[in-house]
């Protein structure tokens, strides 16, 4: 008789909603035992019920990831309940939609503490337990905005850039010490999550993700795959591959394009609700379970062919370069680069 496989023990931060919730679903339907970390108790309880309905087991641990000691205690609670942690996924974040000049120092600090230091503290808690056992996987939920910053999200973009640098440093230390622990980043596109419902928004209109938009399940399945097939980095969605690789080749083009379109593309559908709550300091899902999806189901893609490419081509840059080359040929045939060259010279003279 074949021996029953031991369920994986997984910790997921930001587990109550959005991408984190979709990652929870991906692991739950494979029977994992999951430590759910987030602030919103209603969201966490909804996630716990969902895990058990899908065939896994879960423990909900209300935790603010900006508190390093609380994150470490949560990790201990997971191991006391389910045993050694096999996989740790860092996803929890918060943000502010605003021009930089209008953000208070306290709000900027808060975003950094959650969206960057929360990843640091989660990684610390994971490595504290994985390194002595010489096994384990850590997956950071990154973003294309960790390479190509956009206007109105300077705090979030700064945090995502920091995660890339931090993770690369940790990876080199693991290599130096010949550790079997692995750390990876899944770089995400725009995703249809409740974030845009509860983000602190100082813009005149409602916030939205920059199209193209993907459903959270696309992100969840990508994280699950990356946790079981080591790659240092995975680009989720063709838009992510093109943005990241294109920014390496001609970042000035991104500056021009986003300076012109980045404000409009992050807003939609009339004035925002001035009384809408935000989750910067307190969870919005403390009394209501928002689930994984946001308000953009009608515009979101449920599949990504580029994930298949990422799963089958060793270098994400190789696949992305092909996409960028195709885009460049199309742009050239339309005479786009002649126009942009003129704009670049104008911009260079302006900031000389």
Q: Which helix (H) or strand (E) holds 266?
A: none
Angle, CA of 98, 101 and 107, to the nearest 5° = 60
DSSP 3-state assignment of 163? helix
Secondary-structure breakdown of the chain: helix, strand, coil percentages, each rounded to the nearest 5: 55, 15, 30
Q: Return per-residue pLDDT of the chain as tens, 352 residues.
A: 455 589 999 999 999 999 999 999 999 999 999 999 999 999 999 999 999 999 999 999 999 999 999 999 999 999 999 999 999 999 999 999 999 999 999 999 999 999 999 999 999 999 999 999 999 999 999 999 999 999 999 999 999 999 999 999 999 999 999 999 999 999 999 999 999 999 999 999 999 999 999 999 999 999 999 999 999 999 999 899 999 999 999 999 999 999 999 999 999 988 888 888 999 999 999 999 999 999 999 999 988 766 666 666 666 555 555 555 544 544 444 444 454 455 555 554 544 4
How many angstroms separate the CA atoms of 173 and 178, rounded? 9
Task: Specify the pLDDT at position 329.
Answer: 45
3-state class (DSSP) for residue 270: strand
CATH homologous superfamily of 9-245+262-315:
NAD(P)-binding Rossmann-like Domain (3.40.50.720)
Q: Pull the structure tokens for residue 50.
A: 């969902």
pTM recorded for the entire structure: 0.88
Question: Per-domain residue ranges for the chain?
Answer: 9-245+262-315
Asked whether the CA dihedral 11, 16, 20, 25 is positive or negative, the reply is positive
**HSE-up of 237 (CA within 13 Å, CB side)?**
27
Q: Which of 147, 156, 224, 290 is catalytic?
A: 156
Residue 313: which H helix or E strand, with range?
A: none
Q: Is 263 considered catalytic here?
A: no
Name the DSSP letter for residue 315.
-
Of 189, 196, 126, 181, which is closest to residue 160 (Cα–Cα)?
189
> For position 324, what pLDDT does the model report?
53
Q: Are 52 and 58 in contact (CB under 8 A)?
A: yes
Alpha-helix residue ranges (DSSP H) falling in 87-211: 105-112, 118-133, 154-176, 195-198
Q: Which sign, positive or negative, has the C-alpha torsion 264, 267, 270, 275?
A: negative
Q: What region does 344 belong to: left with phi over 0, alpha with psi -120 to 50, or beta?
A: alpha
What is the maximal distance between C-alpha atoms in the chain? 75
Residues 132, 138: Cα–Cα separation, whole Å: 15
């Amino acid at each position: 008789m074949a021996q029953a496989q031991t369920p994986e023990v997984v910790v997921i931060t930001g587990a109550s909603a959005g991408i984190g919730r979709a990652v929870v679903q991906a692991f739950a339907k494979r029977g994992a035992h999951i430590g759910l970390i987030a602030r919103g108790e209603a969201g966490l309880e909804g996630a716990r019920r969902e895990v058990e309905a899908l065939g896994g087991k879960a423990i909900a641990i209300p935790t603010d990831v900006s508190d390093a000691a609380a994150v470490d205690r949560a990790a201990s609670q997971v191991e006391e309940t389910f045993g050694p942690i096999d996989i740790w996924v860092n996803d929890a974040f918060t943000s502010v939609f605003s021009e930089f000049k209008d953000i208070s120092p306290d709000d900027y600090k808060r975003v950094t503490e959650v969206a960057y230091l929360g990843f640091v503290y989660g990684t610390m808690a994971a490595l504290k337990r994985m390194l002595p056992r010489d096994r384990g996987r850590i997956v950071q939920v990154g973003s294309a905005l960790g390479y190509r910053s956009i206007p109105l999200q300077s705090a979030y973009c700064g945090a995502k850039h920091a995660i890339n640098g931090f993770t690369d440093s940790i990876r080199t230390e693991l290599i130096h010490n010949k550790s079997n622990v692995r750390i990876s980043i899944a770089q995400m596109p725009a995703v249809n999550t409740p974030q845009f419902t509860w983000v602190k928004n100082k813009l005149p209109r409602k916030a939205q993700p920059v199209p193209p938009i993907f459903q959270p399940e696309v992100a969840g399945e990508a994280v699950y795959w990356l946790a079981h097939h080591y790659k240092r980095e995975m680009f989720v969605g063709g838009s992510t591959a093109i943005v990241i690789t294109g920014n390496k080749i001609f970042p000035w083009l991104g500056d021009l394009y986003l300076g012109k379109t980045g404000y409009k593309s992050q807003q939609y559908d009339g004035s925002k609700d001035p009384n809408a709550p935000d989750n910067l300091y307190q969870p919005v899902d403390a009394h209501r379970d928002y689930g994984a999806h946001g308000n953009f189901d009608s515009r979101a893609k449920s599949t990504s062919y580029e994930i298949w490419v990422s799963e089958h081509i060793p270098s994400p840059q190789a696949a992305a370069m092909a996409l960028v080359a195709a885009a460049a040929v199309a742009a050239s045939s339309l005479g786009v680069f002649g126009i942009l060259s003129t704009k670049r010279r104008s911009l260079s003279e302006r900031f000389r």
